[in-house]
Amino acid sequence: MKSIKNNLSEIKSKINEKITVVAVSKTKPIDDILKLYEDGHFDFGENKIQELIVKHKELPKDIKWHMIGHLQRNKVKQIISFIHLIHSVDSIRVLNKINDEAKKINRKVNVLLQVKISENDLKYGFDLNEIQNLLENNFLKKYDLVNVLGLMGMASFTQNNNIVNEEFKALNSIYSKFKKIYNFTTLSIGMSGDYELALKNNSNMLRLGSVIFGHRN
Ligand SMILES: *Cc1c(COP(=O)(O)O)cnc(C)c1O
């Protein structure tokens, strides 16, 4: 079996160096994260607050932690002081809460707006139409302590590449349309099974778990 380190460096060697790989370490032990950290990788993603907090506490403080899972408002406070990027802002209420908590500690917090591009009802996020309307109406203006860097999406779990491609394309079209107006820098699409398609659709941030760490139980 190949090592975690080799898995990541192989992927990085195939893609443009400007693309950020977030190593999704959810359910994986501290030691696995350290192996990559010691090899010079700093971006890690978690989807559960409790696990994120424990890992942040135990690991080196220059790790850039990405929150990629659904975030409840009452949990925002627990990560606001150290989180590098919240990918999963899926409602105005969460955005308001992040801004409020950020204000309390006077820290600017980086976020992405999660857009629901999949048919799957279980996925969180703004609807495509909703996000388009909000962006057209300049709703980000009032958030002085939130830096909205761009958009995030998850495609359907399907073997049908056409479906995945259409979903990524729809998100990229909104991202590209508003990129200049809002100085967007980040389009977070692409997971282990679909990152090549995501790259074809302008992704510059991949969230990769199982292709790096192996399968989760
Ligand atoms: C788990 C997870 C990933 C990584 O999934 P893999 O298929 O293992 O690469 C990416 N994004 C989100 C939001 C996740 O929850």
Say yes or no: CB of residue 210 within 6 Å of ligand 1: yes
* pLDDT tens per residue, range 95-144: 999 999 999 999 999 999 999 999 876 779 999 999 999 999 988 988 99
Number of the ligand 1 atom closest to the C-alpha atom of 26: 1
Number of the ligand 1 atom closest to the C-alpha atom of 192: 9
Read off the pLDDT band of 1 (50, 70, 90). Answer: low
From the list 84, 78, 75, 80, the residue with the least C-alpha distance to 102 is 80
Length of the chain, please?
Answer: 217
* pLDDT tens per residue, range 149-192: 999 999 999 999 999 999 999 999 999 999 999 999 999 999 99
R_g of the chain computed on alpha carbons: 17
CA dist 162 → 27, 96, 158 (Å): 31, 36, 10
Q: Read off the pTM.
A: 0.97
Say yes or no: CB of residue 157 within 6 Å of ligand 1: no
Topology adopted by domain 4-212: TIM Barrel (3.20.20)
For the chain, the first-to-last Cα distance in angstroms comes to: 17
Angle of CA points 62, 10, 4, to nearest 5°? 60
Distance (Å, rounded) from C-alpha 204 to C-alpha 217? Answer: 28
Say yes or no: CB of residue 208 within 6 Å of ligand 1: yes
For ligand 1, atom 10, the nearest C-alpha belongs to 207
CA of 34 to the centre of ligand 1 (A): 19
Number of the ligand 1 atom closest to the C-alpha atom of 207: 10
